[in-house]
Amino acid sequence: MIHEQRWTYLSCRLLDYEPKPFELNVCAMT
């Protein structure tokens, strides 16, 4: 769904601060 790797990277980094189901899914998919 996400075409920009930068957004995915940011989402993964957010896990370190606030783990969220959506963020986890994005990280897992990539």
Domain ranges for the chain: 1-30
pTM confidence score = 0.20
- Predicted local confidence at residue 16, as pLDDT: 56
Give the type of residue at 27.
C
- Predicted local confidence at residue 11, as pLDDT: 61
Helix (H, G, I), strand (E, B) or coil at 3: coil
Read off the pLDDT band of 29 (50, 70, 90): low
- Predicted local confidence at residue 3, as pLDDT: 56
- Predicted local confidence at residue 23, as pLDDT: 57
Residue pLDDT, tens place only, 3-27: 566 666 666 665 555 555 565 555 5
- Predicted local confidence at residue 9, as pLDDT: 63
d(CA 24, CA 13): 10
d(CA 16, CA 20): 10
